[in-house]
């Protein structure tokens, strides 16, 4: 649940930690994730079936200069010249989900020969400001998959307390990790990079395979990207939610948004959804090998390694959400791959929100407990995050590192997520090729 709101368990832990000097390992973990390189989630206004407009927000994304194989080239005099790219899907102008779908006649007129691949992550505000963060949190916390409450009391609490006060505090947190060069959140920089690199990897399949990226909350939206795929003649679309472990609040809400868009289409493409890959051998192997490489580069040897996953209300598990068992299975396979036991690799859950009981043990309490027990050197990995974001860069590498050291810990390192690293991209490519079988 990248860039989702996170709240420590009690008021003392929720207080903003004073600035601290981070050790080199933490700095390295933070700096590695935010690359300034441009690479390839909110909606666009309906485009003509054979023309796509570009927006300034998506300027780094290059639209194809030619249509997919077998499809006529789009003709629109209103579209400004754009840089050619054989595999990246076009970047439409942003719009909202409430806007009407394009006329059925337009969709029917579109060519039918392309395959779209859409990487989806959770989302991010457009700016590190209270206003932008408030808009993002309103969309995120207003999703019934995320907060399963519809009472009037919840709406009053959300609009009267959470949004006004939390937005200001989270805006300060975003400023700490903001990619100032690109003026965007790291999760957006990294997800774009993942899409662009995947597009390059899939080029041998042909120009009819288009790759793009979207955010479930915020920009660019899932609907805008799907609209672009239809405009470019895609009759088959692979949706790749970048959540290794399934949760209704992550994978399911991506599917919800895809299906809401599809319900408005007369001519629907075939849709495939990447299943959770929490125990995929390639995923486990890449996690383990990347961790080994990071450990070798550290100036200390950790006494304990913590695998921190995003938290989830315990009630969700009781209702049948498999997320907890998926996290446990991932951790078990990692232990086996690394040759570690339960005391050497500990499973915890972070980012607790509200007062309800969430999955335990809580990461931030574990930091305190381990330090008090005499653990001096600690490494934290976050296997459930495909890209570094607020929860990894600020919550773990900042807040949790501070708590660990405040209670007696000495060395702390937050291991970067797989991001757009070479091993991470090889894994994403393998997942994509597996799901594209029969289409390519």
In the predicted model, what is the mean pLDDT of residues 410-415?
A: 98
> Mind listing the pLDDT tens digit for each residue in 133-153?
999 999 999 999 999 888 888
Instruction: Give yes or no for a cis peptide into 168 (omega within 30° of 0).
Output: no
Q: What is the pLDDT of residue 112?
A: 56
Instruction: Label residue 3 by pLDDT band (50, 70, 90).
Output: low
Q: Which domains does the chain have, with CATH numbers?
A: 19-34+280-385+388-421 (3.40.50.1400), 43-126+181-243+245-277 (3.40.50.1400), 130-177 (no CATH)
> Mind listing the pLDDT tens digit for each residue in 336-365?
999 999 999 999 999 998 889 999 999 999
Q: What is the pLDDT of residue 256?
A: 98
> Mind listing the pLDDT tens digit for each residue in 40-75?
333 333 333 323 333 333 433 333 434 444 444 443
Q: Is the pLDDT of residue 195 over 50?
A: yes
Q: What is the pLDDT of residue 354?
A: 84
Q: What is the pLDDT of residue 88?
A: 55
More confident residue, 41 or 296: 296
Q: Is the pLDDT of residue 4 over 70?
A: no
In the predicted model, what is the mean pLDDT of residues 365-392?
A: 98
Q: What is the pLDDT of residue 50?
A: 29
Q: What is the pLDDT of residue 2?
A: 57
If you average pLDDT over every residue of the chain, what do you get?
A: 82
Q: What is the pLDDT of residue 149?
A: 83
Q: What is the pLDDT of residue 101?
A: 45
More confident residue, 275 or 99: 275
């Amino acid at each position: 649940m990248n860039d989702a709101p996170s709240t420590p368990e009690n008021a003392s832990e929720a207080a903003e930690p004073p600035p601290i000097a981070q050790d080199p390992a933490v700095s390295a973990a933070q700096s590695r994730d935010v690359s300034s390189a441009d690479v390839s989630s909110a909606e666009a206004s309906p485009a003509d079936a054979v023309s796509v407009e570009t927006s300034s927000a998506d300027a780094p994304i290059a639209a194809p200069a030619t249509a997919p194989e077998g499809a006529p080239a789009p003709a629109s005099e209103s579209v400004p010249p754009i840089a050619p790219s054989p595999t990246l899907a076009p970047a439409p102008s942003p719009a909202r989900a409430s806007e009407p779908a394009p006329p059925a006649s337009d969709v029917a007129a579109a060519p039918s020969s392309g395959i779209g691949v859409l990487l989806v992550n959770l989302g991010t505000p457009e700016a590190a400001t209270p206003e932008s963060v408030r808009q993002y949190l309103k969309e995120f916390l207003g999703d019934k998959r995320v907060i399963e409450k519809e009472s009037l009391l919840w709406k009053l609490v959300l609009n009267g307390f959470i949004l006004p006060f939390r937005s200001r505090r989270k805006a300060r947190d975003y400023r700490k990790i903001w990619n100032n060069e690109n003026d965007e959140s790291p999760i957006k920089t990294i997800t774009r990079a993942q899409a662009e690199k995947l597009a390059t990897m899939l080029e041998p399949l042909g120009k009819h395979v288009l790759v793009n990226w979207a955010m479930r909350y915020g920009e660019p939206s899932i609907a805008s990207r799907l609209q672009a795929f239809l405009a470019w003649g895609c009759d088959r679309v692979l949706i790749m939610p970048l959540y290794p472990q399934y949760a209704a609040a992550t994978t399911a809400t991506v599917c919800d948004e895809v299906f809401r868009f599809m319900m408005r289409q007369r001519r629907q493409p075939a849709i495939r959804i990447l299943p959770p890959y929490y125990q995929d051998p390639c995923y486990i192997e890449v996690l383990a090998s990347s961790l080994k490489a990071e450990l070798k580069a550290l100036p200390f040897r950790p006494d304990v390694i913590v695998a921190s996953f995003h938290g989830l209300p315990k009630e969700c598990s009781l209702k049948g959400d498999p997320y907890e068992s998926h996290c446990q299975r991932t951790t078990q396979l990692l232990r086996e791959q690394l040759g570690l036991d339960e005391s050497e690799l500990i499973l915890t859950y972070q980012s607790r929100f509200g007062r309800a009981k969430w999955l335990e043990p809580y990461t931030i309490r574990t930091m305190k407990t381990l330090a008090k027990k005499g653990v001096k050197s600690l490494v934290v990995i976050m296997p459930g995050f495909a890209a570094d974001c607020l929860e990894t860069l600020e919550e773990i590498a900042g807040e949790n590192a501070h708590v660990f050291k405040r209670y007696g810990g000495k060395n702390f390192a937050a291991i970067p997520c797989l991001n757009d690293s070479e091993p991470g991209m090889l894994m994403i490519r393998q997942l994509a090729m597996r799901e594209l079988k029969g289409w390519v």
